[in-house]
Amino acid sequence: MHPMLNIATRAARRAGDIIVRSLEQRQHLRVESKGHNDFVSEVDRRAEAAIIETLLAAYPQHGFLGEESGQHSGSSPFVWIIDPLDGTTNFLHGHPQFAVSIALKNMELDRLEQAVIYQPLSQDLYTASRGQGAQLNNRRIRVSNVTQLSGALLGTGFPFRDDTYLETYLATFRSLLPTCSGVRRCGSAALDLAFVAAGFLDGFWEFDLKSWDIAAGCLLIQEAGGMVTDLHGQGDYLRTGHVLAGNLKVHKHMFEILQNCLPSSVK
């Protein structure tokens, strides 16, 4: 395992321990609203602090971008992109789909280098290093070999924070649903993308995500032999937050359908 990936794994497990220990006390946690249907708990903040402490102890020159802490520059081109608890709403309801997501980006090369997604309840660990493939619990994973949408299981996420993309999303949902074997919404984009990398889902699309939601999952999919683009087939997904991912065949079929229902205003 790459040394930087090893440290990221250690940080993710440390955060996961904090999350699991807090699960039974979740009804007594301090929870704040960052906006409509957008919550942060003291667990998010404690988990993120533990991640940052672990990463900076090993790499004090690195910067980081945390969902709760914001962006902090370092003296090196490396920036850690951190979501300490992707699926906070699930966690607060005791729904078991939530994860820790950590990615490392080289800003000079403008590319993701390392990725960890950790599901603390199951202790499933998804990891990837650029050029070294993707793993689930240290076993190599690949995207699925489904070739047609008619046999594909897709993942998605609803636009729950605001309704800016609601009608556009509904148009894409109406276009894709009849063509596939099913659509799942687990409430954690990080896990959805990890599931695509492992072949548990064949494709995924969503609008208006944040870079910390998707950075690790996108590298996992690429290293597992899949494709990630924005909804127009370009590579600007970390900036726009609009994501289309899948194995090569499913991505192609989804892309073709989406071009017929996406307004030009979706950039």
Among 19-23, 191-195, 227-231, 249-253, whose mean pLDDT is lowest?
19-23
**Would 155 be classed as within a structural domain?**
yes
For residue 225, give the amino acid letter.
G
* Integer CA distances (angstroms), 128 to 114, 154, 220, in order: 6, 22, 6
Predicted confidence at residue 36, as pLDDT, reads: 47
Q: What percent of the chain has pLDDT over 90?
A: 79
- For residues 264 and 245, which has the higher predicted lDDT (pLDDT)? 245
Predicted confidence at residue 68, as pLDDT, reads: 85
Q: How confident is the model at residue 26 (pLDDT cuts 50, 70, 90)?
A: confident
Q: What are phi and psi of 39, to 5 degrees?
A: -115, 150
Predicted confidence at residue 37, as pLDDT, reads: 43
Claim to verify: residue 22 and residue 103 sit in the same structural domain: yes
Claim to verify: residue 21 and residue 137 sit in the same structural domain: yes
Q: What are phi and psi of 197, to 5 degrees?
A: -60, -35
Q: How confident is the model at residue 95 (pLDDT cuts 50, 70, 90)?
A: very high
Claim to verify: residue 89 and residue 158 sit in the same structural domain: no
Contact status, residue 96 vs residue 121, Cβ threshold 8 Å:
yes
Q: Quick: pLDDT tens for 125-181.
A: 999 999 999 999 999 999 999 999 999 999 999 876 667 888 899 999 999 999 999
Q: How many CA atoms lie within 13 A of 255 on its CB side?
A: 18
CATH of residue 85: 3.30.540.10
Q: Domain containing 106: what range?
A: 3-141
- For residues 38 and 150, which has the higher predicted lDDT (pLDDT)? 150
Count CB atoms within 10 A of the CB of residue 211. Answer: 18
